Amino acid sequence: VQLQASGGGLVQAGGSLRLSCSASGNIVGINDMGWYRQPPGKQRELVADITSGGVANYVDSVKGRFTISRDNAKNTVYLQMNSLKPEDTAVYYCNAKVTRPILGLAHYWGKGTLVTVSS
C-alpha cells in the first residue's frame, strides 16, 4: 500500500492551497484518513481527519479555514486550506488506516509535501 500526496507549494499569507493524497495497492477498505503536519523544529501534529462516513475532526487552529474531504471511490483524501498563515508552514503528511487482505488493519503514511506560507 502506498500513499501519494501532492499539492504543496509556496503561497502568500491569505492564500489557498489544496492537498491531495491517494492510496493505492492491495486494499480491502480504508477507515479513517487524515492530514498531519510538522512545522520546522516542532513535533508532528494532527491537522484534520475524516471517517469513512465523512465525519471530520479539526485541530482548533485550522477550524473555519481548512476543510478535509474524501472520495471513497478514488481512495483519496483532500485538504482545502484557505486563509493561510505563516504559522501553517510545515511538511504535511497524509495518513490512512487501511484494511489489507489477510493481514488486516495497518496505518500508512505518505512521504509529505511542503507548504510554505510567506508573510
Each residue's pLDDT tens digit, 74-98: 999 999 999 999 999 999 999 999 9
CA distance 67 to 15: 14
CA distance 93 to 37: 6
According to the model, what pLDDT value does residue 14 have? Answer: 98
According to the model, what pLDDT value does residue 93 have? Answer: 98
CA distance 118 to 101: 44
DSSP category for residue 26: S
According to the model, what pLDDT value does residue 8 have? Answer: 95
Each residue's pLDDT tens digit, 26-41: 999 999 999 999 999 9
According to the model, what pLDDT value does residue 103 have? Answer: 86
Residue 67's Cα: distance from chain center in Å?
A: 10
